[in-house]
Amino acid sequence: MTAVIRKAIPADADFIVESNCAMALETEQKELSRDVVSRGVRTLLDRPELGFYLVAVIDGQPVASLMITTEWSDWRNGLFWWVQSVYVTPDFRRQGIYRQMYRQVQILAEEQGGVCGFRLYVERENRRAQQTYQSLGMSECDYRLYEQLS
């Protein structure tokens, strides 16, 4: 199945909010505040220096989304692009939609220049997603993720 992959526009915000909330519930059993997520999505759409979203569209309807944010690497003198908030609606899973989106991420990085690699995090139990990422040439790294929320 071929989708049109494009950068998100403000009209995509509601779809992205619903996708993010659905992904959190499916993968982490977390109920997110739609109001907070909506403000977060709209902030990123309004401030491209923070990153961007891609959406996959089939027959005029968005069916998948992902977010890209950046991390500067002084070791590599380049940017890592972090792939986050990946969601494909259930009816369109296992049909190559994410593969098309990831390829578009790679194309955009090549066009921009200065991108030294791609990173993402995935739940330990999400074997299907891990297999997908490995099939696209990504490999597990030696780092663990720590956080402190404020």
> What global pTM score does this model have?
0.92
User: What does residue 124 show for φ and ψ, rounded to 5 degrees?
Assistant: -55, -35
* Residue 128, pLDDT above cutoff 90: no
pLDDT digit string, tens, across residues 75-84: 999 999 999 9
Q: Kindly report the average pLDDT of the chain as a whole number.
A: 95
Average pLDDT over residues 55-83: 97
pLDDT digit string, tens, across residues 12-50: 999 999 999 999 999 899 999 999 999 999 999 999 999
User: What does residue 50 show for φ and ψ, rounded to 5 degrees?
Assistant: -85, -20
In this predicted structure, what is the pLDDT of residue 45?
98
Taking the C-alpha atoms of residue 7 and residue 23, their distance in angstroms, rounded to an integer, is: 20
In this predicted structure, what is the pLDDT of residue 120?
93
